Amino acid sequence: MSELNTTSYAILSLLAVRPWTTYELAKQMDRSLHWFWPRATSVLYTEPKKLVAQGLATVSRQHTGRRPRTVYQITPQGRQALRGWLDRPGTGPTLEFEALVQVAFADHGTKSQLLATLASIRQQADARRQEAITRAEEYATTGGPFPERLHMIALVARFLLDYTELVATWAAWAEQQVPGWPGVAAGDGAPVAADAFQPARPKHR
């Protein structure tokens, strides 16, 4: 199992739910994994073949009418490998956020550049937040495509709702700070927000 990585196990996890064609896997990844493991989509056409080569999945050719379909299905050995992976707690979250790097070093540019970056972050955050809310409402009312797994989906949904709210709230806060600054350079005398270094109060503890 040394050749398997997190992406391998992510796809194996989807195969443990049900058999999929590559197209169906792509759709499901867009619905779920892209929120917190987007790299799985980029290797979608190679990773299932690796699972088959290791005996963790099977591949079969089927037809829907005259249209051929390639269907991947997990094997008992694959389920055993998946349980072994779940027995090893994974690493915590890491943040990859290009626009935040631009914010961190915006003092080498202009105030208007910083404001434009913050506006873009807020707009994207609002869109992601609304997407998360819409998806959560779907699960709450219909149970989604896998209602038997709703107890697990709910744990991830709560994280995504809180995370998207965090980014949207921060972006709106940051946008309120900068307009009153005389400039962004080190010597321009921009004030430091009084609440900037105060930890947020936990919501759910």
User: Global pTM?
Assistant: 0.87
Which residues share a beta bridge with 21?
A: 71
On whether the CB atoms of residues 43 and 22 are closer than 8 A, the answer is no
What pLDDT shows up at residue 126? 95
What pLDDT shows up at residue 119? 96
On whether the CB atoms of residues 24 and 66 are closer than 8 A, the answer is no
What φ, ψ does residue 4 adopt, rounded to 5°? -80, 140
Contacts 24+ apart (CB under 8 A), 168-174: 168/122, 168/125, 168/126, 168/128, 168/129, 171/118, 171/121, 171/122, 171/125, 172/122, 174/103, 174/118, 174/121
User: In this predicted model, what pLDDT tens digit does every residue of 88-119 receive, in sequence order?
Assistant: 999 999 999 999 999 999 999 999 999 999 99
pLDDT exceeds 80 at position 1: no
CB neighbours of residue 71 within 10 Å: 14
